[in-house]
Amino acid sequence: MKKRLLLLLGVLCVIQSLSAFADKVVLAELCPLLVGEWQGSAANPSLDPMAVTTSVMCSADQRNLYISVSRGSRFSNSETWWFRQQQDKVLLLYGNGVTADVTQQLTLYRQSDSYSFLGKGEINQRPALVQLQFDPIKATADKPQGGWQWQQSAHYLDDDSEQYQVVRALSLYPQ
């Protein structure tokens, strides 16, 4: 128990130091950057990458961000990610039509051109600190419009590791 408490305190220090280098922002800042139809690939440590399409919508007041990842990304149904601004926190409702819906409270940070949702939750039935990171992908000759890399990571609280582990990543390029 003492080891777990020390680990949790260490993780909280990491989050605190992240917030010292990052600015806490609201969903309205990220929302317009992601709106649109995207294509790319999804990958996780246990499956080969596969092609996906992703649709992103924002509400008129930009306090709701809705992301739909196409069928076949992990399950036979599409996945939905609904982020809702609630005061200084963001409520996430995740559903895939296969497992029970997940609700989590997150905080949104911006560091340079990247955005990161951070919060405590559960991934793969394990307690974890969750990070949903959106990093811009620079334009190249074969992808002249650039895009976003969306990485989902977890720091499992029942593990002695001090690092986040990638759970899944998606590339988002304009269609």
pLDDT digits 0-9 by tens, 26-69: 999 999 999 999 999 998 888 888 899 999 999 999 999 999 99
Q: Whole-angstrom Cα distance, residue 139 to residue 146?
A: 4
75-79 mean pLDDT: 77
3-state secondary structure 77-96: CCEEEEEEEECCEEEEEEEC
pTM of this prediction? 0.83
In Å, how far from its chain's centre is CA 41?
Answer: 15
- What is 2-174's CATH topology? Lipocalin (2.40.128)
Q: What is the pLDDT of residues 116-151, one digit of tens each?
A: 999 998 887 889 999 999 999 999 888 888 999 999
pLDDT at 78: 87
Residue 2: other Cβ atoms inside 10 A: 6
Residue 134: other Cβ atoms inside 10 A: 20
Contact of 155 with 18, CB cutoff 8 Å:
no
| Residue 144 parent element (H or E) | none
Q: What does the DSSP 8-state code read for residue 112?
A: T
Contact of 92 with 81, CB cutoff 8 Å:
yes
